[in-house]
RNA sequence: GUGGGUAUAGCUCAGUUGGUUAGAGCGCUAGGUUGUGGCCCUAGAGGUCAAGGGUUCAAAUCCCUUUAUUCACCCCA
């Protein structure tokens, strides 16, 4: 039977990988300028971390986790996201004793057992970051400024920042009862899902895509209009901060993050032209999470962006990605004796940091040059017995056809010093 | 879990109302008179027509089942 790649995964091949690397490097560079350090954590964690961190009632935990027992009988799970692990690490490594706030970024693959569709995979790449130990609105604004600048720098068009506040535990409890009251006499006309949501999670009623439910929910009271005074002030300060530094945003009262740990500020960067899965980056504040996972009460804010979706959006925006490296010079040869000289030159150049190609398939000179052309080499030189005897060879500029006779001894120096 | 589309060479795709050795372009390998690439020409390799079953004298083509893939719902990066 033919071996095939697992559903929802993909190989990232040469030609495509350069695009990913470009974004990953740009991300790391920017994050480090904002004072973040990289963190790495395991691909799998004990299942309990995600159950408690992401939340037992979320879709991620209920139906999307890659969970299995290891040989010691412990239940482990492939990470469906990064925040829970970062917080676990923060607690476990005593980072509450570090200079506050602690800023960490990560570049990971994540795993969710979902049905695949455009922009959604079972293994996918996330670039994310967390700030732990700041409850100030300045943290929120700084994160949003950084992300806005990052996307701007990548030349992305049609990406819109949507923000909302979903309050804290206290205002949310109060809001839920307000919401239930509003919907109490309307449940008969709602879809089956919404009837269930009415009981389990009334806030989700606002998210339904069914026409009649949208109609019913249209005039429902919004959480944003029912925040407690502290949350209201925090949100006001965040938007005021964004206004001050001219970051455009849309207040989207319908953003309800799907992970349990979010409080107060939540946001998404939504792209045009990506299909149904159009959220490129999402995040928010999670002030209670550290405590919930057994640490001391520590506020936090973070985000994650989907690398696949981001690269796709950049392609849609016509971004000119860097292409793969091409050889500076191709060293051709005729005969065994010449090969040994050519090999020495090639390897010397390579060790001096120059990308140099040489045929290792015993091909004819014609095939060698064809190879050089396919690899898009800038220069070529051919060594044969005559050249070796006279210590002279012709270097050719493959683009301009110009040729130049040089001594074989000088080839390495000429290429390194770029005087060809 | 639910619904729709698709499945022929490494890639993009032709393939007539069922008709005999299944095609093209690109790519790959080699050659075009023993030492100079691209363009052009020639040749070669590479297909259980997704798999299994059925109808038929005859199936890539029609029917059924399965699988894969893709888009969408739910939800999310």
CA distance A8 to A375: 32
Q: How far is the CA of A3 from the C1' of B17 (A)?
A: 39
Residues linked to residue A330 through DSSP beta bridges, in sequence order? A357, A380
Q: A50-64, A325-339, A356-370: which has the minimum mean pLDDT? A: A50-64
Tokens linked to A418 = 């770029």
Verify that A312 and A336 share a domain, yes or no: no
A1 in any annotated domain: no
CA distances from A321 to A10, A24, A159, A298 (A): 20, 13, 19, 40
A303 in any annotated domain: yes
The answer to whether strand B lies under 7 Å from the CB of residue A281 is yes
Residues 5-34, chain A, CB closer than 7 Å to nucleic strand B:
5-8, 10
Answer for the pair A397, A378: CB distance below 8 angstroms, yes or no: yes
Average confidence (pLDDT) over A380-399? 93
Q: Which of A164, A165, A161, A141 is nearest to A152 (CA)?
A: A161
- Report the CATH number at residue A304: 3.30.930.10
Residue entry with tokens 């020495």: A344
Verify that A312 and A355 share a domain, yes or no: no
Task: State how many domains chain A has.
Answer: 2
A278 in any annotated domain: yes
A223 in any annotated domain: no
Q: How far is the CA of A4 from the C1' of B5 (A)?
A: 22
A209 in any annotated domain: no
Indicate whether A271 pLDDT > 70. Answer: yes
CA atoms within 13 A on the CB side of A240: 8
Q: What is the pLDDT of residue A181?
A: 84
Verify that A290 and A401 share a domain, yes or no: no
CA distance A26 to A307: 12
For residue A223, give the DSSP letter. Answer: G
Answer for the pair A271, A183: CB distance below 8 angstroms, yes or no: no
Average confidence (pLDDT) over A265-287? 91
CA distance A292 to A409: 69
Average confidence (pLDDT) over A306-318? 92
Residues 100-159, chain A, CB closer than 7 Å to nucleic strand B:
112, 114-122, 124, 126
Determine phi and psi for A8, rounding to 5 degrees. 80, 5
Last residue of a domain, one of A259, A282, A316: A316
CA distance A242 to A255: 18
Verify that A287 and A369 share a domain, yes or no: no
CA distance A283 to A266: 6
Q: Is A266 helix (H, G, I), strand (E, B) or coil?
A: strand
Indicate whether A1 pLDDT > 60. Answer: no
Q: What is the pLDDT of residue A192?
A: 66
Q: What is the pLDDT of residue A415?
A: 95
Verify that A256 and A391 share a domain, yes or no: no
From the alpha carbon of A397, which nucleotide's C1' atom is closest?
A: B37
Q: What is the pLDDT of residue A384?
A: 93
Q: A41-45, A163-167, A238-242: which has the minimum mean pLDDT? A: A163-167
Q: What is the pLDDT of residue A267?
A: 95
Residues 45-64, chain A, CB closer than 7 Å to nucleic strand B:
58-60
A187 in any annotated domain: no
Angle formed at CA A353 by CA A348 and CA A356, multiple of 5 degrees: 65
From the alpha carbon of A201, which nucleotide's C1' atom is closest?
A: B75
Tokens linked to A83 = 């925040």
The answer to whether strand B lies under 7 Å from the CB of residue A169 is no
pLDDT band for position A258 (50/70/90)? low
The answer to whether strand B lies under 7 Å from the CB of residue A191 is no
Residues linked to residue A265 through DSSP beta bridges, in sequence order? A165
Most confident of A67-76, A166-175, A195-204, A209-218: A67-76
Verify that A338 and A299 share a domain, yes or no: no
pLDDT band for position A17 (50/70/90)? very high
CA distance A45 to A68: 11
For residue A203, give the DSSP letter. Answer: G
* A356-358/A329-333 β-pairing: parallel
Indicate whether A40 pLDDT > 70. Answer: yes
Give the sign of the dihedral formed by CA A359, CA A363, CA A364, CA A367: negative
Average confidence (pLDDT) over A353-367? 94
Q: What is the pLDDT of residue A369?
A: 95
Average confidence (pLDDT) over A312-319? 90
Verify that A149 and A280 share a domain, yes or no: yes
pLDDT band for position A193 (50/70/90)? low
Tokens linked to A376 = 């898009």
- Report the CATH number at residue A354: 3.40.50.800
Residues 336-365, chain A, CB closer than 7 Å to nucleic strand B:
361, 363-365
Which position has the higher pLDDT, A364 or A183?
A364
Q: How far is the CA of A268 from the C1' of B17 (A)?
A: 56
Q: A218-222, A254-258, A399-403: which has the minimum mean pLDDT? A: A254-258
Tokens linked to A80 = 């469906």
Q: How far is the CA of A16 from the C1' of B72 (A)?
A: 27
Indicate whether A215 pLDDT > 90. Answer: no
Last residue of a domain, one of A292, A316, A340: A316
A96 in any annotated domain: yes
Average confidence (pLDDT) over A230-237? 94
Give tens-digit pLDDT for A76-102: 999 999 999 999 999 999 999 999 999
Q: What is the pLDDT of residue A261?
A: 86
pLDDT band for position A209 (50/70/90)? low
Average confidence (pLDDT) over A135-159? 94
Verify that A277 and A395 share a domain, yes or no: no
Write out the DSSP string of A46-66: EHHHHHHHT-TTSHHHHH--E
Q: Is A306 helix (H, G, I), strand (E, B) or coil?
A: strand
Indicate whether A270 pLDDT > 80. Answer: yes
Verify that A293 and A154 share a domain, yes or no: yes
> In whole numbers, what is the pLDDT of chain A averaged over residues?
91
Q: What is the pLDDT of residue A51?
A: 93
Last residue of a domain, one of A316, A350, A378: A316
Phi-psi category of residue A380: left, alpha or beta, with phi > 0 → left and psi -120 to 50 → alpha: beta
Please give the span between the terminal C-alpha atoms of chain A, in angstroms, as a whole number. 53
CA distance A324 to A13: 11
Verify that A285 and A392 share a domain, yes or no: no
CA distances from A154 to A37, A278, A298 (A): 21, 17, 33
Indicate whether A208 pLDDT > 80. Answer: no
* A356-358/A379-383 β-pairing: unpaired
Q: How far is the CA of A18 from the C1' of B13 (A)?
A: 28
Verify that A355 and A306 share a domain, yes or no: no
Q: Residue at minimal CA–C1' distance from B51?
A: A1
CA distance A300 to A95: 13
Q: What is the pLDDT of residue A198?
A: 75
Verify that A136 and A279 share a domain, yes or no: yes
A302 in any annotated domain: yes
Q: A54-63, A115-124, A156-165: which has the minimum mean pLDDT? A: A54-63
Residue span of the structural domain in which A353 resides:
329-416
Q: Is A333 helix (H, G, I), strand (E, B) or coil?
A: strand
Give the sign of the dihedral formed by CA A409, CA A410, CA A411, CA A412: positive
């Amino acid at each position: 039977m033919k071996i095939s790649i697992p559903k929802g995964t993909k190989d990232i091949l040469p030609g495509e990988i350069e695009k990913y690397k470009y974004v990953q490097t740009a991300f790391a560079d920017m994050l480090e300028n904002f004072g973040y350090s990289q963190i790495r954590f395991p691909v799998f964690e004990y299942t309990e971390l995600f159950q408690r961190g992401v939340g037992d009632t979320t879709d991620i935990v209920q139906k999307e986790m890659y969970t299995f027992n290891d040989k010691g009988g412990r239940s482990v799970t492939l990470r469906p996201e990064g925040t829970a692990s970062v917080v676990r690490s923060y607690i476990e490594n005593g980072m509450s004793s570090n200079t506050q706030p602690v800023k960490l970024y990560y570049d990971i693959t994540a795993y969710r057992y979902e049905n695949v569709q455009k922009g959604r995979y079972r293994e996918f790449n996330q670039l994310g970051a967390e700030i732990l130990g700041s409850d100030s609105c300045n943290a929120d604004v700084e994160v949003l400024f950084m992300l806005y600048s990052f996307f701007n720098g990548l030349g992305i068009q049609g990406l819109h920042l949507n923000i909302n506040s979903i309050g804290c535990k206290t205002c949310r409890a109060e809001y839920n009862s307000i919401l239930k009251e509003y919907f109490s006499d309307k449940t008969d006309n709602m879809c089956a899902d919404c009837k269930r949501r009415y009981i389990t999670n009334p806030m989700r009623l606002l998210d339904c895509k069914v026409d009649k439910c949208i109609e019913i929910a249209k005039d429902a009271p919004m959480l944003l209009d029912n925040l407690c005074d502290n949350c209201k002030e925090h949100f006001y300060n965040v938007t005021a901060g964004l206004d001050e530094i001219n970051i455009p945003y849309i207040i989207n009262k319908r953003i309800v993050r799907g992970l349990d740990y979010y409080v107060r500020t939540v946001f998404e960067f939504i792209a045009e032209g990506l299909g149904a899965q159009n959220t490129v980056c999402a995040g928010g504040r999670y002030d209670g999470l550290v405590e919930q996972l057994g640490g001391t009460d520590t506020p936090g804010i973070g985000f994650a962006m989907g690398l696949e979706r981001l690269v796709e959006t950049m392609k849609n925006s016509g971004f000119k990605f860097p292409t793969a490296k091409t050889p500076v010079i191709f060293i051709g040869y005729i005969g065994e004796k010449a090969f040994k000289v050519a090999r020495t030159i090639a390897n010397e150049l390579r060790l001096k940091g120059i990308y140099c190609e040489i045929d290792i398939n015993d091909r004819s000179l014609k095939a060698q040059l064809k190879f050089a052309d396919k690899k898009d080499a800038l220069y070529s030189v051919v060594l044969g017995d005559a050249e070796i005897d006279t210590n002279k060879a012709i270097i050719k500029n493959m683009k301009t056809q110009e040729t130049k006779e040089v001594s074989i001894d000088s080839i390495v120096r000429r290429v390194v010093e770029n005087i060809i």
